[in-house]
A and B are shown apart, each in its own frame.
Chain A
Amino acid sequence: MSPLRAVLGRELRLALRSGGGAGLGLAFFLTVILLVPFGTGPDPDRLATIAVGTLWIGALLACLLSLDRLFQTDFEDGTLDILALSPLPMEMTVALKCLAHWLTTGLPLVIAAPVLAITLNLPGAAAPWLIASLAVGTPALSFLGAIGGALTVGIRRGGLLLSILVLPLYIPTLIFGAATVRAAIDGTDPTPPLLLLTGLTLAILALAPFAAAAALRINLR
């Protein structure tokens, strides 16, 4: 078996089987969306105006809160040292872990978001753009999260610190992602923000593993 498939398979199996909490991110997302109308009141028009922001921020938080299992447990039980010694470059290991994280956290959100959008009264015409923007944007969330996860891996109870480090990095993704859907609602052309979001995600996919791997190497020293 190639090391690529071995690492990816291990990550997916751990997330899906051993109480790794692949479904927990999605459950968290559902719960956040459930709470929002209690805060704003049930008026459909008001919900429609904040639906985009709510769905995107819910996705950010769901992604953020599942980041601790990206490196933390592997760091604590020594698996990360073994992975560092493997023939796979650290950058590739990080990228595979992020890919597995996206498949088990980001992808379910992309699928669930349009259903939840109905409850928030998002205009139907904007739903395809919501799916597109989340599908393009959520991989960047996992890869950026890896930087924060790698920086804080040696810190006990670093959860709050992780949020402060990672959430500001999500700002450009959030801006272009939400702008895509809002453009679709307003009837303007949603492709420019979507293309900018795509470019941003591709750049993050290419560069973030290097930063995360550098931080992991420092922590494994």
Chain B
Amino acid sequence: MHPMSIWRYANPVEFLRVSGAALPWFWAGTALCLATGLAWGFFGTPDDYRQGSTVKILFLHVPAALMAINAWLMMLAASLIWIIRRHHVSALAARAAAPVGAVMTVIALFTGAVWGQPMWGTWWVWDPRLTSFFILFVFYLGYIALWNAIDEPDRAADLTAVLCLVGSVFALLSRYAVFFWSQGLHQGPSLSLDRQENVDNAFYWPLLICIAGFILLFLSLVLLRTRTEIRARRLRALQNLQARA
């Protein structure tokens, strides 16, 4: 293997070494970005002329919603790597990301409800975006439940990978189907790369920093949880060896 190949990190020992060295930096970056972004967002931006200070929940809501979707995409990529190249670290990373993604979904739904109550006059409506997040949450639950239900590690990894592929198709399909079913209250996208219809600059930069903070938080948590999974599996292997001896 080429010494610079990325698959070098698929070796659990190498992964533990590199991730162990990188993790403190990830945590530091997370703390720095979230502290700066949230402080700037909450105290350094003006109140919206119609929404008042309620608008500032956007600094939690938008990054959490982004990561709720990206966590699933990461699980999909990791599942594909597991199916194609059989790297155990990849399967364990997918398993590690699922609860983090589920919690991000809950944060997005919860902050949305807190925002929606004063703005729309209701905690919850069956709006397409809200409903798709609800659906995404159920997919996370099913994925986590299937991992927990199967004892044999390789079989669990294979079957959850199949579920992740099928779930990806149907989560996407449901997202477009619910637009057919209901017109919503939720606003359109406020952020885009071509910056045609973005939020005001006053909100834009602190929001970007918060998003960076959530990405780093997600990566730190997934690295940490993957390391735990690797060690748990190693522990189990050692216990099995001992029981046999």
Contacts and interface: CB of A to CB of B under 8 A. Distances in A.
Contact of B159 (A167, A176, A200, A219): A219
Interface string B140-176: 0110011001100001001100110111001001100
A211 B162 contact: yes
A4 interface: no
A175 B150 contact: no
Interface in A183-221: 193, 196, 200, 211, 214-215, 218-219, 221
A179 B170 contact: no
Interface in A2-39: none
A218 B158 contact: yes
Contacts of A211: 162, 165-166
A164 interface: yes
A154 B158 contact: no
A10 B88 CA distance: 40
B170 A221 contact: no
Interface of A: 147, 151-152, 154-155, 158, 161, 164-165, 167-169, 171-172, 175-176, 179, 193, 196, 200, 211, 214-215, 218-219, 221
A75 B177 CA distance: 35
Given A154-B150, A165-B146, A221 B155 contact: yes
Nearest to B165: A211
A161 B143 CA distance: 10
Nearest to B131: A171
B162 A164 contact: no
B176 to A, nearest CB: 8
Contacts of B155: 154, 218-219, 221
A200 B178 CA distance: 14
Contacts of B162: 147, 151, 211, 214-215, 218
Contact of B166 (A147, A193, A221): A147
Nearest to B160: A151
B149 A158 contact: yes
Nearest to B166: A211
Given A151-B163, A161-B146, A169 B170 contact: yes
Interface residues of B, number: 24
13 contacts: A151-B162, A151-B163, A154-B150, A161-B145, A161-B149, A164-B138, A165-B145, A165-B146, A168-B139, A169-B170, A211-B162, A211-B166, A218-B162
A200 B170 CA distance: 11
Given A165-B163, A211-B166, A219-B159, A155 B177 contact: no
* Most central of B135, B145, B166 by chain A CB within 10 Å: B166
A215 to B, nearest CB: 5
Nearest to A169: B170
B49 interface: no
Smallest CB-CB A-B distances: 10 pairs: A172-B177, A218-B158, A175-B177, A164-B142, A165-B142, A171-B174, A175-B181, A168-B138, A172-B173, A215-B162
A176 B177 contact: yes
Given A155-B150, A172-B170, A218-B159, 11 more contacts: A161-B149, A164-B145, A165-B142, A171-B135, A175-B178, A175-B180, A175-B181, A179-B180, A196-B180, A200-B173, A219-B159
Contacts of A164: 138, 141-142, 145
Given A175-B178, A175-B181, A215 B145 contact: no
Contacts of A169: 166, 170
A57 to B, nearest CB: 14
B173 to A, nearest CB: 5
Contacts of B170: 168-169, 171-172
B186 to A, nearest CB: 18
